[in-house]
Structure 1
């Protein structure tokens, strides 16, 4: 799975065993209100089409939920691979493009939306800087929030919610559930609202917010996640530090 929201590439333990990868130690791994420790290794070479990156770190972690959705998935391709290229995700055409030549950057039209610094110190983010944009919730009079552009998520997430965004109490809102490390995690579904990313509108986005944590980890460096599936096309220039977003003709996360 291609995941712009994951800083480190992940390899399924069975695949790691097949490749005879050497475990170098343990490291902390954070997710949406989750925290765990996983083994890490160093990979000699990863190739995607004609593009390759050598000698980089990967974690070895069970991905049972992903494999239940599609047993062909053997891992997660994270930013420590993707950040070596300009990246185009075309959701309508179902195409992923990687580019090292700046040709895509010259061809893609649209406003350049500056990628924001995450919360916290500038110099303590390991591996790569997360792809974060400033987002305004147009149906609520609140300050802009920082959301990570996440191709590995199918739901928009706010880690914490101001009371004014709730039209009903959280304990009466619809809920979604998932199981992480054997523990059930519950999310409240917030009323749909419009958002604005730069000058790019996205209509009627239904955010979810976690109701319980699985493990305790560091404070998040952004306010939530915004799936790249909210847009028809997403272009990310890691080297130039901007994103260009094309909305669906009728935007929404139900596409």
Structure 2
């Protein structure tokens, strides 16, 4: 949550913790919330990080924070981008109504017992029409562009960066970060093929943190509907 909201709620920081983004890392204060509610769904004793969300507020000044996986993992989650709906279910009715093919969530990179807070929602993909190695991508509803974290993942996808100069920049934590945009490619996510996906690759990192758990980020907005079952450890993806 943003700093001003924490002040309005009279929340007192309990310490600091690592806060990671796309090739960024910083330390932020954190608090525990006695109750966090979204609609008629709620979670008790939820950890919240206090920090700068100026980039999000630039898109919509009404945004005061991010609803994280440590809340969402308690429910089955449906994101319907066409209808602009978010559905949370703590039972089985939503899962039983979804008929699309199940895609098992992939195991994150790193050790099995070093996951901070929550297990990231990751699927394994390949560049369509090739036998390139699997690329692990985090399904992320807060991103607006597909990202591969490093050049190695870009080479795995069969794409090469011909021009090293950045074509896109942003300012995060007071530092400037450059990105190279890769040529469009098609992703094979069995049984789906998603055409014309163009990844951004960061040319520099901001802050030094632990190793990432995946090779990049795939926004949920790439699909018309995304259903994620934390209990069943699978996702379904409906293309536009």
Shared fold (TM-score, shorter chain, > 0.5)? yes
Structure 1 residues 65 and 246 mapped into 2: Cα distance closer, same or farther (>3 Å)? same
Q: Secondary structure at the match of 1:217?
A: coil
Aligned residue pairs total 237
* 1:94-173 paired onto structure 2 within 5 Å: 94-138=84-128, 140-160=130-150, 161-162=154-155, 165-166=158-159, 169-171=162-164
Instruction: Note if contact 1:87-1:98 (Cα within 8 Å) is conserved in structure 2.
Output: yes
Taking structure 2 as the reference length, the TM-score comes to 0.95
Equivalent in the alignment of 2:206: 214
The runs of at least 4 consecutive aligned structure 1 residues that moved more than 4 Å come to none
* 1:17-166 paired onto structure 2 within 5 Å: 17-138=7-128, 140-160=130-150, 161-162=154-155, 165-166=158-159
2:191 aligned with 1:199: yes
| Structural RMSD (CA) | 1.4
Q: Deviations over 1:108-158 (max 9, x none)?
A: 011110001101111110221000000011155421100000100011011
Instruction: Note if contact 2:161-2:180 (Cα within 8 Å) is conserved in structure 1.
Output: no
Instruction: Note if contact 2:105-2:235 (Cα within 8 Å) is conserved in structure 1.
Output: yes
Aligned-pair CA distance for 1:165? 3.1
Taking structure 1 as the reference length, the TM-score comes to 0.90
* 1:178-197 paired onto structure 2 within 5 Å: 178-197=170-189
